[in-house]
Structure 1
Amino acid sequence: IEDQQEWMALQGPHSSGLLAFLAANRADYDGFVLFTYLYATSYDTLEHVRGKFYLVPFAHDEPPIYLRLFEDVFRAARGIVFCTEEERNFVQQRFPFALPRGEVLGMGVDLPAGADGERFRSRFDMREPFMLYAGRIAESKSCRDLFGCYSAYRAHAGSSDQTLSLALCGSAQMRVPRLRGIRYLGVISEQEKWDAMAAARFLVLPSRFESLSIVLLEAWATGTPALVNGTCLVSVGQCRRSQAGLWYRNADEFSLVADWLARDDGLCRRLGANGLDFVRSSYQWPKIVERYMEFIRFEALAIV
């Protein structure tokens, strides 16, 4: 456990000001909410908020969650708030001894004020149809697998007016291969990201580890469908609930589904419309705030 505590010390971030405030003012609060299980800002506060905190863990099946030191974090929580049913199911399996009341409340996403696909195409000279990856370009996000899948798709689809390029935006933490059809746009502005989503045929989300993908909700907020990694239960669950995305489990399936989405205008329109309806009905901030307030009122009665 000492090695794990050393890992947490290196993980950070640490806030001496936060700890000092909690030590001085703990008695003034009936409860605290800790966001994410993974970082020291939650772990370091345990001695001050034990028995009085609610955890929003953003948990998924990744190596750190199997460290023993996190068992104390989940055991000590008065309650746990989840983003998806899949996250709750995973935490129940990982920490069956510790789970108190757990509610799926989700997280809000802002609807874009004016996403303009044509503005994006003009700004970046992207006249060809394309699939979009938005976010950190990293091994941990399964981007190497994405490049392999895209290469297989190009070999499958050949060259035609309907063959999709792969546009990527975000910070590159690994080398982006120079393959035919791949366009790396670098880090772009928030408005340019919304415009890119509006212009894309679909968003591709190759990550195998998600507790809730904000970028997936953002794509749906622009009426753009998604193609997600079928080994990520959270992403697949979101696609099932929304009826706004499809999934793949290997390069062959990626090639077939991407080609289908490239060629079927009606399917893309239906999936995109479903995604927009899903975000509007379930993930706008007023609805999320209402769920949190109801949860807090219920917990306040339980404390009394």
Structure 2
Amino acid sequence: MEKICFIVCQYGNEVNGGAETHCKMLAERLTSSYEVDVLTSTFISYTTFQPYYQEGVEVINQVNVRRFKSEPFDKEFYYKLLRSSKLGRKIRRNLYRMGVLRSIASVFPKWNIGLEKEKEVLKANGFYSPALLNYMRENESSYKSIILFYFPNPATFFVGEMLPKKCILIPTAHNERELFRSIQTHFFTNVGHIAFNTEEERKLCENVFGKSMSPSSIIAVGVEVAEPESKELIIEKFNLPENYILYFGRIAPEKIGKSIEWFQEYKRNKKSDIKLVLTGRLFMEKTEDPDIIYTGFVTEAEKTALIKNARLVINPSDKESLSLLLLEAMTLGKPSLVNGKCDVMKEHCIKSDFACQYYISKSDFIKKLDFMLYRIEDPKAIATKAQNYVKANYDWDKIMGKLRALIESSPY
């Protein structure tokens, strides 16, 4: 059986990030066709970089997970380098905001402003692992194809630089500063193939890298929903109220935004017993409020039960390349409210005939929240539209067929 390899920042049953979950679902579904390795770190926390897993090999659902140690992380040194490496990305991001970057990038596809400094930043990142890169140098001939996850990951860039034509990049890209770095102009134009999650993600990257961007396609990912735990169990375990709004994923500033503050304002101005339940690992200061409940990390069965029994699911992130959170909620027929400043999620709303709703401001968030909680006339029709949208667009057989064809087209 031929071997393939995935490279991702974190991997394991205890990891609940979107890109990491995406990688795990694809890797496990390919074990019937290939021997599958995953090269990853020993970390769960991307802020402390304290080892959680043992270095070495672990088999998870027939996937060989190879964990490598990283260099010690010096936070002060890292952020000093980060501050000194702004020039290239600032110029390119300003050109993007002016609407001219695509044209300029098509004439000048590769930029070198601050290139070496940007590589130093990657090498100072907590996920940088010389041991992983050495392993790949010694074993690259074993793999038919290498699938790289999440473009800012140091291993993703350096393996892609080492073996560009053997690599398929799944970038999970959104409009963030890292996308505009000079190093990405070399990466996104050299890598063998780019597999995007949505057409909106591809359009973004075309506008950043121009016509010299590597060949690409839309692969995406399907949705997995575990059988739910009982309602009684989750109510008792997490001390849940009858009426709650749910967010699940990383509880971090870049994901939550201002949704906690806006929810609190809604509660001050409305007579409602609704509470906000935040599910996932905490990467920010906890808000002490009796109307906000933190469950911590939950199992997949508990997560399904939490979604099924919620009145509404929210995704306040403005940086998504797909949003598994939203697709899982739609699969369960649950109304969802998402950040309309994220083009990907806005398009999910539009293409599903508004089976989910988006907001664009604080006042809009409060207005839509009240509407979805108390004034939806036909919730069953909304649920049916949501489920039909996911079935039509995120079918596992189609997705895996496209990915296998891409792997088989590798010249190696």
Question: Which bin holds the TM-score, normalised by the shorter protein?
Answer: 0.7 to 0.9
Counterpart-to-counterpart distance in 2, 1:204 and 1:21: 41
Q: How does 1:16-95 map to 2 (within 5 A)?
A: 16=130, 18-26=132-140, 31-95=145-209
Give the match's secondary structure for 1:44.
helix
- State the 1:50 CA deviation: 2.3
Kindly state the Cα deviation for residue 118 of structure 1 after the two structures are TM-superposed. 5.1
Q: Looking at both structures, which has the greater relative contact order when contacts are Cα pairs under 8 Å and sequence separation is at least 6?
A: 1
Pair 1:5-2:115 in alignment: no
Residue 194 of structure 1 and its aligned partner are, at CA, apart by 1.3
Residues 1:225 and 2:335 are matched in the alignment = yes
Equivalent residue pairs, number: 297
Contact 2:225 2:300 in 1 (8 A): no
| 1:248 matches 2:354 | no
Q: Counterparts of 1:68 and 1:208 in 2: how far apart (Å)?
A: 23
Are the aligned partners of 2:122 and 2:128 in contact in 1 as well (CA < 8 Å)?
Answer: no
Equivalent residues of 2:198, 2:321 under 8 A apart: yes
Equivalent residue, structure 2, for 1:285: 396
Aligned match of 2:266: 153
Aligned to 1:141: 255
Match of 1:247, SS state, is strand
With over 3 angstroms needed to count, the CA separation of the structure-2 counterparts of 1:30 and 1:175, relative to structure 1, is: closer
Q: Is the 8 A contact 1:54 1:79 kept in 2?
A: yes
Question: In the aligned structure 1, how far is the partner of 2:178 from the partner of 2:314?
Answer: 26
- Kept after mapping to 2: 8 A contact 1:116/1:199: no
- In 2, distance between residues paired with 1:168 and 1:31? 38
SS at match of 1:159: coil
Q: Is the 8 A contact 2:280 2:298 kept in 1?
A: yes
Residue identity (%) = 28
TM-score, scaled relative to structure 2? 0.66
CA-to-partner distance for each residue in 1:264-284, whole Å, 9 max, x for gaps?
Answer: 354433333322233333324
Q: Does 1:192 align with 2:297?
A: no
How much does 1:83 deviate?
0.3
Decide whether aligned partners of structure 1 residues 119 and 268 sit closer, same or farther in structure 2, where only a CA change above 3 A counts.
farther
Q: Report 1:157-176 matches (<5 A).
A: 158-160=270-272, 163-176=273-286
Q: Distance in 2 between matches of 1:75 and 1:95?
A: 8
Change beyond 3 A, Cα 1:165–1:209: same
Report what 1:107 is aligned to: 221
Structure 1 unmatched ranges of 5 or more: none
1:164, distance to aligned residue in structure 2 (A): 2.3
Matches within 5 A, 1:206-217: 206-217=316-327
Change (3 A) 1:47 1:202: same
Does the C-alpha gap of structure 1 residues 265 and 123 become closer, same or farther in structure 2, counting only changes over 3 Å?
farther
Determine the C-alpha separation between the residues in 1 that align with 2:231 and 2:160: 47
1:239 matched to which residue of 2? 349
Structure 1 window deviating more from structure 2 (271-280 vs 192-201): it is: 271-280
Cα–Cα, structure 1 residues 98 and 166, in superposed 2: closer, same or farther, change >3 Å?
same
* Aligned residue type for 1:270: A
SS in 1 for 2:284: coil
State the alpha-carbon separation in 1 of the partners of residues 299 and 140 from structure 2: 40
Amino acid at match of 1:154: K
Shift of the 287–51 alpha-carbon distance from structure 1 to 2, 3 Å rule, reads closer
User: In structure 2, what residue type is equivalent to 1:146?
Assistant: S
Q: Can you list the C-alpha shifts for 1:91-123, whole angstroms capped at 9, x where unaligned?
A: 001111431322111112213223644543344
Distance 1:202 1:73, change over 3 A: same
Name 1:203's counterpart in structure 2.
313
Q: CA deviation at 1:224?
A: 1.1
Richer in helix (by share): 1
- Note if contact 2:355-2:383 (Cα within 8 Å) is conserved in structure 1: yes
Gaps of 5+ in 2: 1-114
State whether structure 2 residue 405 is matched by structure 1 residue 294.
Answer: yes
Name the structure 1 match of 2:72.
none
Q: Displacement, 1:31?
A: 4.2
Distance in 1, Cα, partners of 2:360 & 2:313: 16
Shift of 1:21: 4.6
Note the C-alpha offset of 1:37. Answer: 1.2
Partners of 1:86 and 1:245 lie apart in 2 by 18
Question: Which 4+ runs in 1 deviate beyond 6 A?
Answer: none
Q: CA deviation at 1:45?
A: 1.1
State whether residues 248 and 280 of structure 2, in contact with CA within 8 Å, keep that contact through their aligned partners in structure 1: yes
Which deviates further from its counterpart, 48-57 or 90-99?
48-57
